[in-house]
């Protein structure tokens, strides 16, 4: 018989909330307990059926078998060592968008083995428990980093939970992970924030500027709705990789700029043709 494990979710925002909603009806899961410094988030999470009850961190750690850390990444590096100080055989995993600093924060902790470093590759531009979506993780990848440093039974528990959520698993080194997400996630956010600001700045002198905005604009800037409290700490922890990618992105934009100045539409067209290769990656439509 499968043991139905009690789970504590620390941080009841988009990701923590979606985990609560998605875990709720699974055969794996016993009671789900919430922890959040924001009392409104606790009340809302109970009201929305994301968690059954809320507790303070210490009581929650003692009451459950699995602890999920879904707070902003600057908070994860603070809370994780404190939680590992308290655990006996519980399993702790995080869902933060950076991995190296988080793993480094407990590198020499005697309970390091109880921790599994995770990054589920799903999300939306919205935040808070109201943004939680049941099934958010289905068919997405969960990246597990430096899995050799986790105890085998802790890994097994996280893997079976991922399976129950319909997730696929990937294993990566934390540094490689952080570089990769700088390219395929963090730079997209910076680009969207910058694009939104560019047009919002213009709106101050041209108030009708958004009248002609349609689907293409919306898709380019939708990530600019993302929560700064989530994203500033991500950029801070992944600073060096983000800086490299941003430099490369500005370089490509500057090449386009030079071609526009020169009216070299032939090479401009060739570069767009190369960019079209992205169809090979985004192959889930047409």
Among 122, 146, 147, 150, binds its own copies (CB under 8 A): 122
Q: Is residue 102 packed enough to be buried (19+ CB in 10 Å), middle (13-18) or exposed (0-12)?
A: buried
Min separation Cβ 101 and its own copies, Å: 14
Min separation Cβ 67 and its own copies, Å: 25
Tell whether residue 123 is a contact of its own copies (CB under 8 A): yes
Tell whether residue 26 is a contact of its own copies (CB under 8 A): no
Tell whether residue 165 is a contact of its own copies (CB under 8 A): no
Residue 120: its H or E element:
strand 115-120
**By C-beta, is 26 or 250 nearer to its own copies?**
250
Tell whether residue 260 is a contact of its own copies (CB under 8 A): yes
Size of the site for its own copies (CB under 8 A): 95
Q: Mask of contacts with its own copies, 66-105, x by CB under 8 A?
A: ----------------------------------------
Tell whether residue 279 is a contact of its own copies (CB under 8 A): yes
Are 50 and 20 contacting, i.e. CB atoms less than 8 angstroms apart? yes
Among 28, 126, 159, 175, binds its own copies (CB under 8 A): 126
CA distance 284 to 273: 20
Tell whether residue 268 is a contact of its own copies (CB under 8 A): yes
Are 42 and 54 contacting, i.e. CB atoms less than 8 angstroms apart? yes
Are 150 and 115 contacting, i.e. CB atoms less than 8 angstroms apart? yes
* Half-sphere CA count of 122, side-chain side, radius 13 A: 25
Burial 175-200 (b: 16+ CB within 10 A, else e): eebbbebbeebbbebbbbbeebeebe
Tell whether residue 204 is a contact of its own copies (CB under 8 A): no
Are 171 and 147 contacting, i.e. CB atoms less than 8 angstroms apart? yes
Among 124, 133, 173, 175, binds its own copies (CB under 8 A): 124
**By C-beta, is 104 or 139 nearer to its own copies?**
139
Q: Is residue 107 packed enough to be buried (19+ CB in 10 Å), middle (13-18) or exposed (0-12)?
A: exposed
Q: Mask of contacts with its own copies, 231-250, x by CB under 8 A?
A: xxx-xx--x--xx-xxxxxx
């Amino acid at each position: 018989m499968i043991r139905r494990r009690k789970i504590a979710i620390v941080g009841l925002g988009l990701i923590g909330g979606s985990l609560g909603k998605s875990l709720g009806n699974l055969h794996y899961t016993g009671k789900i307990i919430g922890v959040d410094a924001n009392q409104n988030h606790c009340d809302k999470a109970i009201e929305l059926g994301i968690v059954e009850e809320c507790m303070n961190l210490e009581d929650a750690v003692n009451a459950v078998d699995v602890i999920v850390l879904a707070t902003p990444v600057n908070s994860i590096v603070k809370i994780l060592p404190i939680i590992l100080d308290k655990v006996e055989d519980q399993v702790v995993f995080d869902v933060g968008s950076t991995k190296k600093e988080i793993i480094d924060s407990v590198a020499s902790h005697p309970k390091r083995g109880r921790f599994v470093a995770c990054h589920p590759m799903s999300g939306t531009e919205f935040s808070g428990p109201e943004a939680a979506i049941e099934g958010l993780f289905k068919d997405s990848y969960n990246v597990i980093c430096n899995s050799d440093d986790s105890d085998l039974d802790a890994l097994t528990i996280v893997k079976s939970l991922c399976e129950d959520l319909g997730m696929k698993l990937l294993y990566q080194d934390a540094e490689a992970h952080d570089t990769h997400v700088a390219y395929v996630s963090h730079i997209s956010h910076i680009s969207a924030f910058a694009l939104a600001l560019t047009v919002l700045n213009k709106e101050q002198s041209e108030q009708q500027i958004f009248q002609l905005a349609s689907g293409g604009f919306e898709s380019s800037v939708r990530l600019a709705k993302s929560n700064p409290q989530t994203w500033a700490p991500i950029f801070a922890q992944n600073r060096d990789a983000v800086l490299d990618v941003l430099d490369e992105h500005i370089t490509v934009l500057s090449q386009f700029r030079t071609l526009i100045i020169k009216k070299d539409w032939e090479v401009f067209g060739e570069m767009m043709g190369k960019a079209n290769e992205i169809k090979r990656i985004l192959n889930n439509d047409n």
